[in-house]
Structure 1
Amino acid sequence: MNPIKPWLGALALAAASVVLAAPPADVPYAWKPVAIVGGGFVDGIVFHPAVPGLAYARTDMGGAYRRDTATGAWQPLLDWLPLSEVNLMGVESLAVDPNDADALYLACGTYTNPAVPNGAVLRSDDRGRTFERTDLPFKLGGNEGGRGNGERLAVDPNDGRVIYLGSRLAGLWRSGDAARSFQRVDAFPDSAWRRDASDGAPPSWGGSDGKATINFVLFDPTSGKRGQPSRTLYAGVSVVGRPSLWRSLDAGASWQAVPGAPPAHRPMRAALASDGRLYVAYASEPGPHRMKDGAVWRYDIAQKTWADITPERPGAADAFGYATVTVDASNPQRLLASTAGRGRGDQLFRSTDGGTTWKPLFPAAQFNAAAAPYVADTPLHWLYDVKINPANPDHALFTTGYGGWETLDLTQADSAKPTHWQVMATGIEETVALALHSPTQGVPLVTAIGDYSGFVHTDLDKPAAGNPKPPFFGNTHDVSGAELAPEVVVRIGHARDGGGKNLGYSLDGGKTWREPRTTPEGKTGDGFIAVSADGQSWVWTPKGGIPHVSHDRGDSWTPVQGLPAGTRVIADRVNPKRFHAMALFDAKLYASDDGGNSFGARPLDLPDGPALRAAAGSNNHSNRGDDRGGQDRLYATPGREGNLWLAAFHGLYRAGDGQAFKRLPAVSQIHAFGFGRAAPGAKEPALYLVGTVAGRYGVFRSTDGAASWRRINDDAHQWGLILQVSGDPKVFGRVYVGTHGRGVQYGDPR
């Protein structure tokens, strides 16, 4: 996914002018995901070895999930995390207790940069329905490089009180009380994991991925007996050119490098077979970015011998590494290993003789993308975890950057028959919503999604038919439509692999799409698009660039006169000739009455003084929230010409045509804002707001023009960071919530 550095601070705002009323009452809502399915990096899967069908999945920025049946839908476990705890939505590692069917442990923390809080271990004794929390004295990097490695968190199979956690920046840690507390394992040598010159320069992106992180901890269950800690355990460290595989033979009291372990690459994942052989996947880079080289090795523990069992050797013209190797619990000779970063598409190899010989599965495999049709356009990539169901050797899963796949006939490959794969991610929603458009007629919703081409949702509960194209976007930044001509929809984004235009439009409500003849010279797919009420004029503001207008569906474009570079434009909802724009921190309001060709300016006077300019933050963040969110923006009221709302980060304002803005009471912070169908008999459209009202954070609805608000989400449905919100103009009460990492959620009054 697109990495972010989460804004976490509770900004001290000058809110003296805000009238604080009693906390808003709740309106009960039922919440469901808008079905996209997957959409993000599922970077780890763990089966419970003793409970058939019970499995867990972790994601890099969208929480964790539980699956209660072998091929059922995944259930989200961390939707209760509020904005203030968004750092915990990135799950670095997860672990189960083999002897306790209900115990679950999540190591949570998205980034290691200094601006974010430390990580935490969430522990559950009811399979993730509820959690208790143990704060850690260090940070975790669930959305940093190497996030597909692991597992860094491990429960002793002989003594569930003993849990180890390998960190990125602070060494190895141990708990003796089932994760209620952790202590640093001082016996694990600092020289094993601290960076030195041989590790090379850190990559340009990925935070701690260039540092010598501890990638996995692995117990040997045969080295102990029930109720006593296992004597033997292994730890893999992401270093090259020096010892990277370490072992303790005395329950962690001392550690030694495993003799003969290959030093050329980083250990990514490892599996210990029941016949006493240790398998390790190696790669030149932590991933999931591109690799230069890699290998798979087997260590015979009893014989103390290593063997290179690499299925296919990377070459200079086809560089790749190996992400993982896994063993069938019912047969230690059966293995799966996956490549990482292979330019022509990653490969999954199978061995039935302990790695002596291998067979690639995908050349003969058949894939059924019906559960998420958009993935048919996406190559197989980021296979950083592969698991064989311990209760069924025919059932295997592998993860991808968009969810993952599973088969129920794995062993058919052993008799030269094709395996059949289906999307395994139903229930997992991990996309980032950058814009939401609910037209006045037609489909319920059109979404602009980070990393994807966006979607036209004809049925909110069923996945869209596929990526809308042409053009085929690798990232969709904005989508908008015409208020009075809802069949006109326009979206902008980055054309995939440099092909096609960076704008696409539909004249039939999203059924079919076209590319314009031209786009403004030098313009990228970033920025915003505004569509006039009649659909005839489009104003495109590229990020940091001069806005351009087209009146002929992109056959030609003209620079807009009178607007500073980077100024976002919105269309009036009634008058097709009118557009509005704002420079909040320069206290300027702009208007056009000639279809967006030129704009005139007037002062933007706020009753409590000018807005304070946002302080520079890291990546997408400042002291005014995430700049991809709906705050600090101008909005035009449906059905009222010239009627405007200013959803500033620090409060809500409204102005009639040509009038001064007035501040509305109770609202002290905004992260997203939008309109929906008016309540029966109401004169005002429904308003939806994500932020703080009367001192309470949540998702709110007003049916009386912001005179009063009701909270419509609950503590179980908070989804960390929310970027967008929009009502549906066709259905009163229906609201769409665009999250960062939990997809798009929709709610209806109960």
Structure 2
Amino acid sequence: MQRRTFTTLSAAAFVAGALPAPAFAQQAADTYVWKNAVVNGGGFVPGIVFNETEPNLIYARTDIGGCYRWQEATRTWKPLLDWVGRDKWGWSGVVSMATDPVDPNRVYAAVGTYTTDWDPDNGAVLYSDNRGETWGVAELPFKQGGNMPGRGMGERLAVHPAKNYELYLGTPSGNGLWRSHDFGRTWAKVGNFPNPGNFVVDPSNPYSADNQGVLWIEFDQIGGNIYVGVADPADPLYVSRDGGATWQPVPGAAAALGSVDGHRTIPKQAAVDNTNGYLYVITSHDPGPYNGGPSSGRGGKIQRLSTLTGAWTDVTPPYNPGRPIPGFGGVTVDRQNPGTLMASTCNNWGPDEVLFRSTDSGATWSLSWDYSDDAGRVDRFDMDNTGTPWLSWNRQDDGDTYAVKHGWMIEALAIDPHDSDRIMWGTGATIWGTDDLTQWDAQGELVRRDASGQRSALPIQKFTVGVRAEGVEETAVLDLAALGGTLVSAFGDIGGFVHTDLGRAEPMIRSDWSTGTSVDFAHWNPNVIVGTGNPHDNGVGHVGVSTDGGRTWRAASPLAGVPGGGHAGVVAIAANASVILWSPSDTSVTPVRSTDLGANWSPVQGLPAGALIRADRVDSPIAYAFSGGRFYRSTNGGATFTDTGASGLPAGAVDFRVVPGRWGDVWLAGRGDEKQGIGGGMWHSQNGGATWTRISAIGTALSVGFGRAAVGSGYPAVYTSAEIGGKAAIYRSTDAGSSWQRINDDAHQWAFAGSAITGDPQIYGRVYLTTNGRGLIYGDIA
């Protein structure tokens, strides 16, 4: 997931047109209860961390959506960073976590989303003495990359098990190794650590050009040594034998870890067997999480270091079904059964990832699935996505390629240190797990090879792997529409959903979108819903249409000049469903319209490419558009648009929405751009955009939406994610913008939230809002 954000700049109030600006007043407060519309997962989980002292104390981290703590009683996850506000939105990207083995109440999170200028702020280490219920902040003088390449390596943050007041932090960008001596409250660079790393994925791409740096820290509790992995193929591993006072390169590490078949490799993760005295290190030619290995050869290996003798042993599995090993993603050891360890491929892609398991310290390996000549693919376990139907991606099994996969981008892989039967692993979409892991060993081999090389499947009793992501809501949501009893949404990476029950995960919209970008419905015929998205695999089904309330969908006709993949843009539909308007995001393509539900398209006249389009919610021939500070109106179903001549509107990015049931009633949220000196704010028009009133109370505004009116009010409730009095929050007005109430609180801010927002047309006070990593949030008056 990559994203940029809007920054804040409040402009002086002014009036565009002749309507009087309302004075600001604070409405009486309502207390809100906040929940997620259930999806279960939906994004990348790069780390799962078990506490080694206390059973059932487990943490999961995400790349842009904060971190979570496992709740064993309900087998769900609790979000821990919802208090992060828009001013520090980058702290919702979690680079690493550490849970204290001496005092299990203590937990730490290294945060920061980008090391590029996409994130204006430096990173931090968050520390908690109560398992993440509340946090302190130790700000750092550099950035961290929770959503950068390499975010599944590590863990970069570690608690010294013999002196738990001491923590280590590996950093990117050449910042080296850092240490705290006071439970994470203050940090200083380890000045004598000799190598800050030098591995860069792609120096020509700003997103991939950062030095991967210091990758992980592991403690050898037999010898008392500290091992540190570094992104430097020529010098990848260091050890301190005197408690961190001095550091030396580990002999033989470069030969063991630095290359595979001529490709440079780096040590992605490590795990210590403190009974047998082994350090296991997995490598890959790429830090992940996206790329697999080179097609010409293996992209990674597993090396075992004897911490007592210094001897290296290559314990790489000798076989991967159907192709070379692309590189490894995760490694874990079984604390209850010394000598048992597991590893995962990273982006084996087709047909699936592979989990490897060894019970003899890597001397031999068994696989989670394999090929046979008589039965095709043979699996050790069944994947059960009950409760999360969208994990089939609207597909059916196709030979050896299953609709429900082990996953991809598997870098979080952890056997419970207290229970050899429990394992969890994170993917690019969910968390999988089982409580029957040791049945693997009882199954024996999957296939038998005879003297002629024929491979025959052996009978085994399968166990079940199920979803373990309940409560983890880590998606980026781009748009939503509340129809009353039905909520339609567009999601980054997983298309979108039609929720008729907010407490239940639904199937994905059957549109083949990888990312949904926009949704709308016909106000007088809400069974007709339209949406746009970026199709998988360079497909061309950008616009989807449903005529039965979202139960079934069909792809509209493709548009010449709009390439496959991206450029989905924004879609709108007339109140009576007579016209669909589509504005692709490709700036070389002007908006188009269809009068036959997407079967045919014709160009719209009078609009620039990329214009933002909405339909009037009362009068079907009326439509509106905005581009570059100009507001346009159509009176013939979008065939032609004319500039209304309104002045004083913001020149930057906006969101504008049309009030249901009121002709020509439009609100416009100006998002502002501090770098370009563009101010934001809120404007209201009651005459179809001819004249506008500036809402003087509101500074920068991300979005605006409408819901059922309060009792005694003749105007719908207005909701916005905006700044009032310098505070970015979620606000509601029940009197057409004359007064506003903040309805969220400091414990519920969800970082960068509310780029789209709407109320519910049937339930007063209910509001739905998008987030960039914490899923689809809704709130009700308590």
TM-score between the two structures when normalised by the length of structure 1 = 0.91
Equivalent position of 2:327 in the other structure: 321
- Corresponding position: 1:514 with 2:554: yes
Query: Where do residues 541-560 of structure 1 align in structure 2 (5 Å cutoff)?
Result: 541-543=583-585, 544=587, 545-560=589-604
Query: Where do residues 540-689 of structure 1 align in structure 2 (5 Å cutoff)?
Result: 540-543=582-585, 544=587, 545-585=589-629, 588-606=630-648, 610-611=649-650, 613-614=651-652, 632-649=654-671, 650-657=680-687, 659-689=690-720
- C-alpha separation between the residues in 2 aligned to 1:694 and 1:19? 16
> Contact (CA 8 Å) 1:492, 1:502: kept in 2 or not?
yes
- C-alpha separation between the residues in 1 aligned to 2:5 and 2:668? 24
**SS of residue matched to 2:91:** helix
Structure 1 position 410, deviation (Å): 0.4
- C-alpha separation between the residues in 2 aligned to 1:724 and 1:156? 44
Match of 2:368 among 361, 375, 378: 361
- C-alpha separation between the residues in 1 aligned to 2:3 and 2:732? 28
Gapped runs of 5+ residues in structure 2?
16-20, 260-264, 294-298, 370-378, 394-403, 444-460, 672-679
Q: What amino acid is aligned across from residue 288 of structure 1 in structure 2?
A: P
Q: What amino acid is aligned across from residue 530 of structure 1 in structure 2?
A: A
Match of 1:437 among 481, 492, 495: 481
Equivalent position of 1:618 in the other structure: none
Q: What amino acid is aligned across from residue 370 of structure 1 in structure 2?
A: T
CA deviation string 1:70-93 (max 9, x = no partner): 871100000011100101111111
Equivalent position of 1:623 in the other structure: none
- C-alpha separation between the residues in 2 aligned to 1:276 and 1:743? 43
- C-alpha separation between the residues in 1 aligned to 2:712 and 2:341? 65
- Corresponding position: 1:220 with 2:220: yes
Equivalent position of 1:453 in the other structure: 495
TM-aligned CA distance change 1:71 to 1:729, over 3 Å: closer
TM-aligned CA distance change 1:200 to 1:430, over 3 Å: closer
> Contact (CA 8 Å) 1:52, 1:69: kept in 2 or not?
no
Structure 1 position 162, deviation (Å): 0.8
CA deviation string 1:156-189 (max 9, x = no partner): 1011111110111200011111111111111110
- C-alpha separation between the residues in 2 aligned to 1:270 and 1:19? 61
Equivalent position of 2:734 in the other structure: 703
> Contact (CA 8 Å) 1:675, 1:685: kept in 2 or not?
yes
TM-aligned CA distance change 1:22 to 1:508, over 3 Å: closer
Query: Where do residues 399-478 of structure 1 align in structure 2 (5 Å cutoff)?
Result: 399-416=426-443, 417-439=461-483, 441=484, 443-464=485-506, 466-469=507-510, 471-478=511-518
Query: Where do residues 489-508 of structure 1 align in structure 2 (5 Å cutoff)?
Result: 489-499=529-539, 501-508=541-548
> Contact (CA 8 Å) 2:226, 2:241: kept in 1 or not?
yes
TM-aligned CA distance change 1:729 to 1:12, over 3 Å: closer
> Contact (CA 8 Å) 1:673, 1:725: kept in 2 or not?
yes
TM-aligned CA distance change 1:154 to 1:745, over 3 Å: same
TM-aligned CA distance change 1:5 to 1:539, over 3 Å: closer
- C-alpha separation between the residues in 2 aligned to 1:24 and 1:160? 49
> Contact (CA 8 Å) 1:504, 1:513: kept in 2 or not?
yes
- C-alpha separation between the residues in 2 aligned to 1:201 and 1:511? 44
- Corresponding position: 1:28 with 2:28: no
- Corresponding position: 1:384 with 2:411: yes
Equivalent position of 2:139 in the other structure: 135
**SS of residue matched to 2:644:** strand
Equivalent position of 1:622 in the other structure: none
- C-alpha separation between the residues in 1 aligned to 2:31 and 2:112? 31
Cα RMSD for the two superposed structures: 2.0
**Please, which moves more after superposition, 426-435 or 366-375?**
366-375
Match of 2:191 among 179, 186, 194: 186
TM-aligned CA distance change 1:200 to 1:207, over 3 Å: closer
**SS of residue matched to 1:486:** strand
- C-alpha separation between the residues in 1 aligned to 2:221 and 2:315? 24
Q: What amino acid is aligned across from residue 481 of structure 2 in structure 1?
A: H
Structure 1 position 428, deviation (Å): 0.5
Structure 1 position 195, deviation (Å): 2.4
- C-alpha separation between the residues in 2 aligned to 1:361 and 1:684? 59
- C-alpha separation between the residues in 2 aligned to 1:559 and 1:647? 27
TM-aligned CA distance change 1:429 to 1:409, over 3 Å: same
> Contact (CA 8 Å) 2:25, 2:740: kept in 1 or not?
no
> Contact (CA 8 Å) 1:673, 1:689: kept in 2 or not?
yes
**SS of residue matched to 2:555:** coil
Q: What amino acid is aligned across from residue 398 of structure 1 in structure 2?
A: W
> Contact (CA 8 Å) 2:116, 2:206: kept in 1 or not?
no
- C-alpha separation between the residues in 2 aligned to 1:20 and 1:513? 46
Equivalent position of 2:225 in the other structure: 232
CA deviation string 1:218-263 (max 9, x = no partner): 112234xxxxxxx4100001222x0101111111111111111212
**SS of residue matched to 1:324:** strand
Structure 1 position 95, deviation (Å): 0.5
- C-alpha separation between the residues in 1 aligned to 2:23 and 2:627? 28
Q: What amino acid is aligned across from residue 639 of structure 1 in structure 2?
A: G
Equivalent position of 2:180 in the other structure: 175
- C-alpha separation between the residues in 1 aligned to 2:569 and 2:221? 55
Structure 1 position 322, deviation (Å): 0.4
> Contact (CA 8 Å) 2:8, 2:700: kept in 1 or not?
no
- C-alpha separation between the residues in 1 aligned to 2:246 and 2:232? 20
CA deviation string 1:525-561 (max 9, x = no partner): 4210010001120010001220000001111110001
> Contact (CA 8 Å) 2:477, 2:772: kept in 1 or not?
yes
- C-alpha separation between the residues in 2 aligned to 1:565 and 1:212? 39
Q: What amino acid is aligned across from residue 502 of structure 2 in structure 1?
A: L
Equivalent position of 2:721 in the other structure: 690
Match of 1:251 among 229, 243, 248: 243
Equivalent position of 1:719 in the other structure: 750
TM-aligned CA distance change 1:204 to 1:315, over 3 Å: farther
Structure 1 position 97, deviation (Å): 1.1
**SS of residue matched to 1:234:** strand
- C-alpha separation between the residues in 2 aligned to 1:50 and 1:485? 58
> Contact (CA 8 Å) 1:73, 1:425: kept in 2 or not?
yes
CA deviation string 1:490-524 (max 9, x = no partner): 11112212346222111000011112244454255
TM-aligned CA distance change 1:221 to 1:195, over 3 Å: same
TM-aligned CA distance change 1:109 to 1:284, over 3 Å: same
Structure 1 position 313, deviation (Å): 5.1
**SS of residue matched to 2:426:** strand
| Percent of paired sites with the same residue | 38
> Contact (CA 8 Å) 2:622, 2:637: kept in 1 or not?
yes
Equivalent position of 1:621 in the other structure: none
- C-alpha separation between the residues in 2 aligned to 1:142 and 1:232? 28
TM-aligned CA distance change 1:687 to 1:218, over 3 Å: same
Query: Where do residues 55-74 of structure 1 align in structure 2 (5 Å cutoff)?
Result: 55-69=58-72, 72-74=75-77
**Please, which moves more after superposition, 485-494 or 523-532?**
523-532
Match of 1:11 among 4, 9, 12: 9
**Please, which moves more after superposition, 109-118 or 414-423?**
109-118
> Contact (CA 8 Å) 1:584, 1:604: kept in 2 or not?
no
> Contact (CA 8 Å) 1:503, 1:525: kept in 2 or not?
no
Structure 1 position 584, deviation (Å): 4.3
Structure 1 position 678, deviation (Å): 1.4
Gapped runs of 5+ residues in structure 1?
224-230, 615-626
- C-alpha separation between the residues in 2 aligned to 1:69 and 1:122? 24
Q: What amino acid is aligned across from residue 663 of structure 2 in structure 1?
A: E
Query: Where do residues 300-339 of structure 1 align in structure 2 (5 Å cutoff)?
Result: 300-312=306-318, 318=324, 320-339=326-345
**SS of residue matched to 2:340:** strand
- C-alpha separation between the residues in 2 aligned to 1:437 and 1:477? 12
Structure 1 position 59, deviation (Å): 0.7
- C-alpha separation between the residues in 2 aligned to 1:85 and 1:353? 47
Equivalent position of 2:767 in the other structure: 735
- Corresponding position: 1:483 with 2:517: no
TM-aligned CA distance change 1:661 to 1:5, over 3 Å: closer
- C-alpha separation between the residues in 2 aligned to 1:467 and 1:315? 30
